[in-house]
Chain A
Amino acid sequence: MLYFILRRILQIIPVIIGVTLILFILMYVIPEDPAQLILQKGATPEALANLRAKMGIDRPLHVQYWRYMRGLFSGDLGTSYRYGRSVNSILAQHYPYSIRLAFAAIILEIIIGLFAGIVSAVKKYSFWDSLVTISTTIVVCVPVYWLGMILQVTFGLKLGWLPMSGYGDGSIKYYILPAITLASVSIAYVARMMRSTMLEALSNDYIVTAYAKGLSQFKVVGKHAMKNALIPVVTLVGLDLGALMGGAILTETVFNWPGVGRTLYLAVLQRDAPVVIGGTIILVSIFVIMNLIVDIIYAWLDPRIRYEKREPGL
């Protein structure tokens, strides 16, 4: 197990190298001049040249890349073109907001998604099952920003029950709309997957055995079917967790939520390359680490996997 975890952590390195390389090339081919960005219009050519030399952006791509990577491995993500602050501090400032929103969304996803999925599987073809099927279909089809705006207009503007946007004082009411928006598609997917894996689990012979032992339906569904049905769902939730932790660009932008997603969105608009690259690296790393955690939980849920992975060899 330890070996397996170590191997997975080492796998993150090539991923990060690949991601930075691609971003670097993309940013490099954009014809905009960062020095111009920083000094605004009307700067003298000398001043621009000076700044370029100071930033090192007059050097060839591979030299710049090398410098960046050296910084990266010592924990330095560079300096923002826009704000003149270190990227580390910008991300550190906005990140907590994204995490909090992500947790709110994941909790909704797990509670509503699992519950809806289990109910529609156990009460197959009932009213509740149809309700879940129809509402998940709608949610999956509707674009996230559109759903976000509908919620804003309905509950924020028309009914005035909840704040329309922003973080405010950080109380729950500010979380509700963005968390629902962010979780909406995931809730639908989790509900649908839970329904189908639960139905599949319930059709197994061991379910008959469990009933034949004299167990209650609650125990049969909640224990015997549940653990089997959860295995694929955990993967889905885990991947979502990775994706959500990376900040939700659309949702944060629509709701003006001060997280990294919105920061990244603004940085792209402002051609703030260090923030874009640094932010993306963090997101990718978190995504990979979340996947690792999912794999570990997976191995715990399914003993068959645990034993396969124990075998030696990379």
Chain B
Amino acid sequence: MDLQQNNKILEVKNLKTYFFTDGGVVKAVDGVSFDLNVMETLGIVGETGSGKSVTALSILRLIKQPPGKIVEGEILFKGRNILDMNIKELQDFRGNRISMIFQDPMTSLNPVFTIGNQIMEAIIAHRNVDKKTAKQESLKLLEMVGIPDLKRRFNSYPHEFSGGMRQRAMIAMAIANSPNILIADEPTTALDVTIQAQILELMHELKEKTKSSIIIITHDLGVVAKYADRVMVMYAGKTVEFSDVDTIFYKPCHPYTLGLMKSITRLDEAKREHLKPIEGNPPSLIDLPRGCIFRVRCKYAIDKCKNILPPLLEIEKGHFTSCIRAEEFLSGSLKRKK
């Protein structure tokens, strides 16, 4: 894949977001790096608790402080560091250049305001328009995301919508200001299987139409295979592998990714949602072990893994891995176990 440098819309470099709790410092995100190109869909995968949501929230600086804090790293949007923005700039930025939709559309819409009101609000927050224009815009958006019976639906409350409709409304709200990036944190987990497909298809179409980019967090590797151009794999708060989708699926060079991919053939559709194919548990994020974080669960671990925390390295163009044996996988000298 030929990726031009100036095509980058977002670059996350060595992001670290910690939570300072009574029980200790939870290193929820502890070294995440990736980038995103214009019109690209990036998939983020990793088992539960690996820091996917915290990464997404960190990008828009939505981590509640205290207890959370972004302690290190850079998040560059078109070269500008989001972490340097003041509160006013941040408000102008959120929902305008980068939007976000969440897992559960029931709880992420405010139950006491109409759908129309909540969409109009997103428009008015960023554009200098009167209510009438905002309403027309909102109706257009609702039509775009495929909500029937517009006039009535505009004045409905979230509880009068089905789950799929609510997520459509959330999408309408998120794209209201034609953002460059839409971040979707497990947007379909709370929905029925048939509705899931519709929502994903809708997001994909809108992305194509508006020439924007998507970051999609999911447990569903089928979704990744179908929509993602590139994939970032996370483990215990770290990026362990990052590359284009074919590489991730067919020649992964990190044992954790390898385990994930093997699981596809093993698990049926229903179970795929709860990605936990590899035996053992991730380490405590408060008390990370010495050496490689994946070592205790790794089938390929060698003595050296005990002492060295492998850095994320570019082992071939556009392919990043944090395993000291990655080169061996790449060259084929270390066979991937069945």
Contacts and interface: CB of A to CB of B under 8 A. Distances in A.
Interface of A: 204-206, 208-216, 219, 224, 227-228, 231, 301-304, 307
Given A224-B113, A303-B112, 7 more contacts: A209-B100, A209-B102, A212-B60, A213-B122, A214-B92, A227-B112, A304-B157
Interface string B72-111: 0000000000000000000111111001101010011111
Contacts, number: 74
Interface string B38-57: 00000000000000000001
Interface in B137-164: 157, 159-160
B94 A205 contact: no
B112 A212 contact: no
Contacts of A219: 125
B121 interface: yes
B110 A303 contact: no
Given A205-B102, A227-B113, A304-B157, A215 B108 contact: no
Contacts of A206: 107-111
Contacts of A228: 110-112
A214 B111 contact: no
B71 interface: no
A303 B157 contact: yes
B139 to A, nearest CB: 18
Contact of B102 (A208, A224, A231, A303): A208
B267 interface: no
B110 A212 contact: no
A214 B95 contact: yes
6 contacts: A204-B107, A212-B99, A214-B93, A227-B113, A304-B111, A307-B159
A213 B102 contact: no
B96 to A, nearest CB: 6
B319 interface: no
B112 A213 contact: no
A210 B111 CA distance: 12
Interface string B297-338: 000000000000000000000000000000000000000000
Contacts of A215: 91, 95, 121, 125
A214 B62 CA distance: 11
Contacts of A307: 159-160
A224 B245 CA distance: 40
B126 interface: yes
Given A208-B62, A303-B157, A304-B159, A213 B108 contact: no
B74 to A, nearest CB: 21
Contacts of B99: 212-213
B233 interface: no
Contacts of B94: 211-214
Nearest to B183: A212
A227 B118 CA distance: 14
B79 to A, nearest CB: 21
Contacts of A303: 111-112, 157, 159
A205 B104 contact: yes
A208 B108 contact: yes
B172 interface: no
A134 B322 CA distance: 53
Contacts of A212: 60, 62, 94-95, 99-100
A7 B22 CA distance: 53
A210 B122 CA distance: 9
Contacts of B285: none
A187 B138 CA distance: 41
8 shortest A-B CB distances, which residue pairs?
A214-B95, A213-B95, A214-B94, A205-B107, A206-B110, A205-B108, A303-B157, A212-B100
A211 B63 CA distance: 11
Contact of A213 (B111, B121, B157, B159): B121
Given A206-B107, A208-B102, A213-B94, A301 B112 contact: yes
